[in-house]
Structure 1
């Protein structure tokens, strides 16, 4: 028997995902009441609208996010973001995830998800500072070893000093490896033996977008 495990945060009106990034605005294009004037009696519909920055909630970064000539949301193939064999790197309680946590793992062709437990702070001020991240040396090793995708349940896969470098983004996206940030629920995953999915819409000319990330595991 298999089970599905939710790995995404809900998107809500005005939510804060990242400092300085405006929250989403939810609206209504066609209300149920107004639709009654369009359809026959007893038939009604709701058509909503949303305005959001692409880096909202749990989202996927494609190479185009960092590199102008990299694949965008419409250019990343499904085999890079769907039905991937997954494994979890346990880094809860650590300020950073380093090479020591990774070097004994077989990551080739896998979605490598870094479990820090920081998602427990999501929606609070604590989430926005001193967050866990992936060390540059570890990012380079993941790229060299051929990881398919890397995710983290934290504010950013890089440390985020003002105007600081973003080595994990630079290395991973430069190697064509998508990144999923602001994940949640990684504690519920087994260390390995699950399939991972994080698929955004195919929007031309955009490098980042929210996803419904989830895993399918046995038992």
Structure 2
């Protein structure tokens, strides 16, 4: 018996994911009414359109997001994003996540998901300020320990002062480790014993894109 756990936010018209990034715009390329003029009687279709910034909703960062010579969405292998053994790091109530929560964990080849509980604020003004983040020392520890992927349920894996450095992005993406931000639902996962999936489309020349992140738990 398997259980699937949703770990992504819904993408909706005009939603705010990150301050200053415009929300998605949903449209219709071909309406059901118009399609009746194209297809046989009784046959109709809806073809929608969407305009969005790649950093919308729950999304994956590839090394190309930070480094011009890093692999982009079409270059990151499936083995780095899909069917990964998962591990949850519990960090609820903490402003920053330090290496003390990681030391001693076997993270190599795993999806390491940092659960802060900040996703409860998603869609509100509170979500955009004072969010938990990964300390540089923790990011360095992970970059050296070799997880397949790192995710977090906050606005950003780094602290986000204006024009501030982004050490977690720099270290993790520099080590070829994809990042998934704006996750949700991590409270429903066990600490271990699940498989993690978060795959974007293979878009050449883009470094980030929304994903349908989810976990598979074997009962």
Asked if these proteins are the same fold (TM beyond 0.5), I'd say yes
Secondary structure, counterpart of 2:169 in structure 1: helix
Structure 2 partner of 1:170? 170
Distance (Å, rounded) in 1 between the aligned partners of 2:104 and 2:32: 56
Distance (Å, rounded) in 2 between the aligned partners of 1:148 and 1:49: 33
Distance (Å, rounded) in 2 between the aligned partners of 1:45 and 1:2: 34
Alpha-carbon offset, residue 218 of structure 1? 1.8
1:69-124 Cα shifts (integer Å, max 9, x gaps) = 00000000000000000000000100011101000210000000000000000000
Secondary structure, counterpart of 1:168 in structure 2: helix
Structure 2 partner of 1:55? 55
Distance (Å, rounded) in 2 between the aligned partners of 1:96 and 1:217: 28
Is 1:70 the counterpart of 2:65? The answer is: no
Structure 2 counterparts to residues 1-219 of structure 1, below 5 A: 1-219=1-219
Distance (Å, rounded) in 2 between the aligned partners of 1:85 and 1:158: 24
Secondary structure, counterpart of 1:15 in structure 2: coil
Secondary structure, counterpart of 1:87 in structure 2: strand
TM-score, with normalisation over the residues of structure 2?
Answer: 1.00
Alpha-carbon offset, residue 143 of structure 1? 0.9
Distance (Å, rounded) in 2 between the aligned partners of 1:108 and 1:138: 15
CA root-mean-square deviation: 0.4
Secondary structure, counterpart of 1:5 in structure 2: strand
Q: Unaligned regions of 5+ residues in structure 2, if any?
A: none
Distance (Å, rounded) in 2 between the aligned partners of 1:134 and 1:192: 20
Secondary structure, counterpart of 2:193 in structure 1: strand
Which segments of structure 1 move beyond 3 Å, counting only runs of 4 or more?
none
TM-score, with normalisation over the residues of structure 1?
Answer: 1.00
Q: How many residues align?
A: 219
Secondary structure, counterpart of 2:158 in structure 1: coil
1:18-60 Cα shifts (integer Å, max 9, x gaps) = 0000000000000000000000011000000000000000000
